[in-house]
Every structure is written in C-alpha cells, then in structure tokens.
Structure 1
C-alpha cells in the first residue's frame, strides 16, 4: 500500500488503534489492510468496477479461514 494514503495506517499510534479495534471485532489486521488496499487501488477511477468483487473475494477467504 502506498505510504501516506491512509494516515491512520501510516503512523504507529494509528496502526495500534486499528489493531485494537480489529481485535475487539474479531478481525485480523492483515485482512483489514487488504480491504483498505482494495479501496485504495480504486482511488481516482471514475468507475469502481470490480471493487465489490474484490471485497467479496477477501471476505469469502476470511470466512473460509474461520471454519
């Protein structure tokens, strides 16, 4: 993920806060980062074709890992 795009992920305090929120909500931090990355990759595009497919793939993988 390009640096400085998501400010909370670019500094240690922000990352710690997000990691704690992920932990409280039963989500792995790496999975959160992957979802954010899918969104960031769409930045600047007029149409966000494929974003929902990316989200579905990521979330399906998360559910499969939890079984």
Structure 2
C-alpha cells in the first residue's frame, strides 16, 4: 500500500489503534489492510469496477479460513 494514503495506517499509534479494534471485532489486521488496499486502488477512478468483486474475494477467504 502506498505510504501516506491512509494516515492511520502510516503511523505507529494509528496502526496500534486499528490492530486493537480489529482484535476486539475478531478481524485479522492483515485482512483489514487488504480490504483497505482494494479501496485505495480505486482512488481517482470514476467507476469502481471490480471493487465489489475484490471485496467478495477477500471476505470469502476470511469465511473459509474460519
């Protein structure tokens, strides 16, 4: 993920806060990052073609791993 795009993920305190929140909500931090990355890759595009497919793929993998 390009640095400085998501400020909370770009600094130690923000990452710690997100990791804690992920843990409290039974979400693996790496999976959260992957979902954010899918969204970031769509930044600047007029149409977000493929975003929902990317989300579906990521979320399907999460459910399978459980």
Per the TM superposition, whether the score is higher than 0.5 is yes
CA distance in 1, matches of 2:27, 2:4: 23
How many residues align structurally?
66
Partner of 1:43: 43
Partner of 2:25: 25
Alpha-carbon RMSD across the aligned residues, in angstroms, is: 0.2
For structure 1, the 5+ residue unaligned runs are none
Calculate the TM-score normalised by the size of structure 1.
Answer: 0.98
For structure 2, the 5+ residue unaligned runs are none
- Runs of 4+ in structure 1 deviating by more than 4 angstroms, as ranges, are none
Superimposed CA distance per residue, residues 7-63 of structure 1 (whole angstroms, 9 cap, x where no aligned partner): 000000000000000000000000000000000000000000000000000000000
